[in-house]
Copies of this chain bind each other. A is one copy, B any other.
């Protein structure tokens, strides 16, 4: 069964054009566009001020043509030191990364970089609300998943345990989001849940 968004458009996660790859570094394309729209909605509605950070670029060569703006002629994508999204919501610091998988049964931990997990935990220690936004593309299911729970699977994988989080564990420990018209991804519902249950603010 094809699952459709409230706007009638089927969700197209696998599609990625060459242009998209250029603009977004090829990472989490459709999810990113939907999150950008959701963040814009939340800002306009004065619900929260959350942005995606720009992709870090190592600039090597810049030309300064006369009477015009600087042109970057050689640059490379850098590995980000942090997660992609952060901001403020009702006095809380919010920090998350968005990830997708085409798997149906589990979420592969290789989607996380060690520095991202470290960063989320460092923010958690400072009292931030930290989570992963995980989409099961094929199932069209989307979860706010607390870092405290991610940590348990991450630790197990480092001890040569399983390298993925079962969907069942994410269903149990996470908060399922249901797409709306505005915002497309109502992830603040999950943030409210994290605040209420303290799951995003404690190492569990």
User: A residues near B, CB below 8 A?
Assistant: 21-23, 43, 46, 48-49, 51, 53-57, 59-62, 69-78, 80-82, 86-93, 95, 119, 122-123, 125-128
- How many of these chains are in the complex? 2
**Would B125 and A59 count as touching, CB distance under 8 A?**
no
Known: A82-B51, A122-B49. A88 touches B95 (CB 8 A): yes
Q: Shortest Cβ distance from A46 into chain B, in angstroms? A: 7
**Would A123 and B88 count as touching, CB distance under 8 A?**
yes
Q: Shortest Cβ distance from A189 into chain B, in angstroms? A: 17
5 contacts between A and B (CB under 8 A): A71-B74, A87-B93, A88-B93, A92-B93, A93-B93
Kindly identify which residue among B73, B80, B91, B119 contacts A126, using a CB–CB cutoff of 8 Å. Answer: B91
Q: How far is the CA of A72 from the CA of B61 in the complex (A)?
A: 10
A87 / chain B contacts, CB cutoff of 8 Å: 86, 93, 123
**Would A76 and B81 count as touching, CB distance under 8 A?**
no
Q: Shortest Cβ distance from A84 into chain B, in angstroms? A: 11
A71 / chain B contacts, CB cutoff of 8 Å: 74-76
